[in-house]
């Protein structure tokens, strides 16, 4: 905590990137607001924050709602802040492409001892800026394969909501931003102030970084063997691991695991895993500008030809044609 009683105990710079996700930004900011003062006065007494942008005006979120920028990098004294929290954009590739623009400021903040926090796809920006070398990072589960393929040398923490690794902090996004805010506020303001307001936010409790999302798997429907297998499929999406090795780790025979998947999903283990991979490809084609070669690496395909054959067999169209078709529809919709 800061020695000067007139100063807040912990101070944040909040930097929403273009097309940032509104949920983690709003959750993180509202948690600061509740902790910042007694009762519900919303003054910045115990913690403070400034919303930053490269330019004055507004930053538009992925949902279209805009947030007012309070200051530009030239107007803030980095020494006055403890954390720089960067909220990622909707598409990882587009966020990553912002590196040349944001790199000088992010590196300056790091050099001056400000702890850097990446939330949601901001991890791609940090990695592209060379700010995660030697650090562990948490990524939203939907983007783990993409991040692993793009940055294989960065240690990815699997199935965590957030990760505090010295002066680099990462968060998977979504409502986990509230849990991260509680943890950071606990360290700066104490646990009592950090927990203040959770009931008002209709949040039962602060979750630990290792909290496992029950919503990811419906264990009461599928059973623990199937749930474990699906979790491993996501984790090993880019590997050459086969279904025999999968069943061995799960602890049942391949035949038994096939029976369990037939009962719960109506397909074999191999068919389920193939469908998972191809749906990942489809999602990436719609939501990124990355090459087919990189996407092929993400699902463990031998090469782009192999990927194209699998995709065409399943969806009746080549990956490149699918991307062109969907982008044309998107442009047509935006022009209306």
Asked if residue 5 belongs to a domain, the reply is: no
Residues 33 and 171 in one domain: yes
Q: Which of 163, 195, 227 is the last residue of a domain?
A: 195
* Burial per residue of 78-92, b for 16 or more beta-carbon CB atoms within 10 angstroms, e otherwise: beebbbbbbbbbbbb
Residues 135 and 283 in one domain: no
Token duo for residue 309:
């054959």
**DSSP-derived pairing of the beta strands 155-157 and 66-68:** unpaired
Residues 247 and 146 in one domain: no
Q: What is the pLDDT of residue 55?
A: 85
Walking along the chain (336 residues) 10 residues at a time, the average pLDDT comes out as 68 96 96 92 94 93 95 94 94 89 96 97 96 95 85 89 96 96 96 92 86 59 80 86 91 93 94 94 86 91 93 94 87 67
Domain count, the chain: 2
Which secondary-structure segment (H or E) carries 198?
none
Q: Which of 161, 195, 229 is the last residue of a domain?
A: 195
Residues 225 and 302 in one domain: yes
User: Could you tell me the CATH number of the domain that includes residue 224?
Assistant: 1.10.10.60
Pick from 308, 277, 334: which is nearest to 146 by CA?
277
**DSSP-derived pairing of the beta strands 115-119 and 168-171:** parallel
Q: What is the pLDDT of residue 218?
A: 46
Q: What is the CA radius of gyration of the chain?
A: 22
Q: Please write the tens of the pLDDT for every residue from 27-65.
A: 999 999 999 998 888 899 999 999 999 888 999 999 999
Tell me the H-state helices in the chain.
22-35, 92-96, 99-111, 122-128, 144-150, 176-189, 191-195, 219-222, 224-235, 243-250, 254-265, 269-287, 292-298, 304-315, 319-335
Q: What is the pLDDT of residue 194?
A: 94
Q: What is the pLDDT of residue 39?
A: 83
Asked if residue 170 belongs to a domain, the reply is: yes
Domain membership of residue 242 as a residue range: 217-335
Q: Please write the tens of the pLDDT for every residue from 172-230.
A: 999 999 999 999 999 999 999 999 999 999 898 888 887 777 665 544 456 788 988 98
Token duo for residue 12:
């944040």
Contacts of residue 279, defined as CB under 8 A and 6 or more positions apart, other chains included, come to none
3-state class (DSSP) for residue 183: helix
Q: What is the pLDDT of residue 219?
A: 43
């Amino acid at each position: 905590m800061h020695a000067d009683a007139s100063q807040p105990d912990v101070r944040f710079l909040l930097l929403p990137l273009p097309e940032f996700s509104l949920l983690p930004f709003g959750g993180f900011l509202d948690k600061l607001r509740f902790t910042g003062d007694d009762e519900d006065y919303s003054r910045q007494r115990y913690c403070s924050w400034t919303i930053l942008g490269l330019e004055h005006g507004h930053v538009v979120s992925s949902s279209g709602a805009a947030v007012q920028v309070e200051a530009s990098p030239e107007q803030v004294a980095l020494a006055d802040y403890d954390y720089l929290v960067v909220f990622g954009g909707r598409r990882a590739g587009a966020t990553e492409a912002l590196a040349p623009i944001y790199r000088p400021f992010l590196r300056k903040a790091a050099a001056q001892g400000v702890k850097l926090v990446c939330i949601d796809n901001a991890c791609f920006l940090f990695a592209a800026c060379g700010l995660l070398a030697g650090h562990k990072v948490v990524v939203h589960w939907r983007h783990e394969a993409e991040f692993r393929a793009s940055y294989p040398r960065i240690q990815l923490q699997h199935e965590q909501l957030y990760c505090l690794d010295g002066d680099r902090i990462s968060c998977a996004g979504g409502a986990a931003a509230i849990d991260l805010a509680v943890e950071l506020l606990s360290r700066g303001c104490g646990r009592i102030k950090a927990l203040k307001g959770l009931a008002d936010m209709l949040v039962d409790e602060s979750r630990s970084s290792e909290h496992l999302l029950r919503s990811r798997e419906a264990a009461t429907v599928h059973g623990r063997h199937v749930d474990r297998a699906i979790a491993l499929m996501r984790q090993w999406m880019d590997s050459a691991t086969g279904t025999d090795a999968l069943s061995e780790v799960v602890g049942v025979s391949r035949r038994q695991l096939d029976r369990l998947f037939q009962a719960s999903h109506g397909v074999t283990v191999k068919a389920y895993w193939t469908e998972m991979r191809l749906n990942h490809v489809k999602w990436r084609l719609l939501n990124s500008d990355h090459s087919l070669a990189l996407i092929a690496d993400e699902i463990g395909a031998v090469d782009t030809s192999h990927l194209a054959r699998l995709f065409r067999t399943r969806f009746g169209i080549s990956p490149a044609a699918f991307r062109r078709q969907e982008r044309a529809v998107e442009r047509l919709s935006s022009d209306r």
